[in-house]
Chain A
Amino acid sequence: MNVLPVGDDALLVEVASGREAEALHAELTRRRAEGSLAVREIVPAARTVLLDGVADPDRLARELTAAQVPPTPPREARAVEIPVRYDGPDLADVAARWGVAREEVARIHAGTEFRVAFCGFAPGFGYLTGLPSRYEVPRRDTPRTAVPAGSVSLAGPYTGVYPRASPGGWQVIGTTDAVLWDPERVPAALLSPGTRVRFVPRRDGGRP
């Protein structure tokens, strides 16, 4: 674990893998909940966890450098099911890259248990891990200027669902009517770091 100072009151903790970052985030969140860690923001990302608004960053840096982090994140009780129509415009391309039929993409994707590694890009956009590395796909060569809300998509090791229409370069394999982000709702975000996620194939994508 490598602890890098960030400005006057933040620390960036760098670990060896995404899995370790998830475990570290879970551990730090637990410590904050029990009152032994005073920090304004805990922001997990691909290989790091950012701690922002730290009262005594030097002391915390020393503590973290000496600490042991559990090798795997705890399995959260909460699981979210997201209904999906596997009908995305990039489904055929993804099937070709995976070397399988289109129906098989849906079967593999829906048969995977995902976990929200971190959020970013837009409120409520989660980077979900769980697919084996042989199913990694690159971003599209030309990003789309408008990807509709609810697009279930792939890029690198991640699956993500667009919370609202926005430009984007991920490969869209399906569509959901699930509401990923609603500021009127508590909690506003359907997915937060650590949440377990399953995609459930539906011909109608869960439309009520």
Chain B
Amino acid sequence: MTGRALVVVRAGALTTVQDRGRPGHAHLGVPRSGALDTPSAALVNRLVGNPVEAAVLETTLDGCALRPRCPVTVAVGGAPCRVRVDGRPAAWGAPVDVPAGSLVEVGTAERGVRAYVAVSGGVRVEPVLGSRSTDLLSGLGPPPLADGTVLPLGRPGVPFARVDVAPQPGPPAELVLRVVPGPRADWFTPGALRTFVTGAYRVSAASNRVGLRVEGPALGRSRPGELASEGMVLGAVQVPPDGLPVVFLADHPTTGGYPVIGVVRAADLPAAAQAVPGTPVRFVTVRRRPGTTRA
């Protein structure tokens, strides 16, 4: 590595390296992991001329500070926040050229939860099972960043189009999650199924990369006993014995023994990753898309 590196000056509450994760190993108990707000991660990569699958940094609420050892282009997206270079205000949601040795500060999220920081060349830590993502459930990939961590960078590509600013959806004031019912909706009482779609839920502060937890009315089961462990998908809404739904995000376990009342559409999960604790949540049931041919 020819000195292309990034020094973490302030790691923040929780900053991790994320790319598109490591799907395909669930049968070995390996979570998929990867950036929670995938469109934001892809966008900041495009802004600095990286391929969309390059590894970026995912911050949590209070940003981070970085000092590149070489000239780089940086873009910050996802949760809106202040960006400064050597103390001077710089653009959010746009490419910013940073000289070697300058301090890049990603501020506290003004709205939303997770900011994404792409650096030209991408973060090039050693991949594990084809991915550089930090998996907080199973401990695969690089550990969460610490002050002083040095991250190697790849060679920069050529930005195919320089843009001044890119539009991004704001974090949701109300989180509406479309849910396809099942596979275990029959484990709940008719009253619970009604409550699920009419109840006033709010995002819980206990949410993390494994799952979006909510507070609100508990969902009662129509049958006692345990469900034998079964495979879990991204977006599964699992209901543990306390009756409060948990929406599985990227670091979710590959199998689980609590019934899944429904599955949130993949397109609604990036907004779930940006919903701050206290955000109202509404679950809306939708029908399974017929005859889909998604890759």
Contacts and interface: CB of A to CB of B under 8 A. Distances in A.
Contacts of A52: 26, 231, 233
B243 to A, nearest CB: 21
Interface string A1-40: 0001111111010000000000000000000000000001
A192 B128 CA distance: 18
B228 interface: yes
A48 interface: yes
A183 B229 contact: no
Contacts of B253: 120-121
A53 B24 CA distance: 10
Contact of A193 (B27, B233, B266, B295): B27
Contacts of A5: 180, 182-183, 288
Contacts of B260: 6
Interface residues of A, number: 41
Interface stretch (A55-63, A67-75, A85-93, A102-110): A55-63
Contact of A43 (B129, B255, B265, B295): B255
A48 B231 contact: yes
A46 B27 contact: no
Contact of A56 (B138, B139, B292): B292
Majority DSSP secondary structure for residues of B touching A:
loop
A12 B230 contact: yes
Contacts of B26: 41, 43, 50, 52
Given A8-B265, A125-B29, A192-B28, A45 B182 contact: no
B290 A58 contact: yes
A191 B253 CA distance: 18
B263 interface: yes
Interface of A: 4-10, 12, 40-50, 52-53, 55-59, 118-125, 127, 164, 183, 188-189, 192-193
Given A6-B183, A42-B27, A56-B291, 19 more contacts: A4-B183, A5-B183, A6-B260, A7-B180, A8-B288, A8-B289, A9-B294, A12-B231, A43-B27, A43-B254, A44-B27, A44-B231, A45-B230, A55-B294, A59-B291, A121-B29, A121-B253, A121-B255, A189-B28
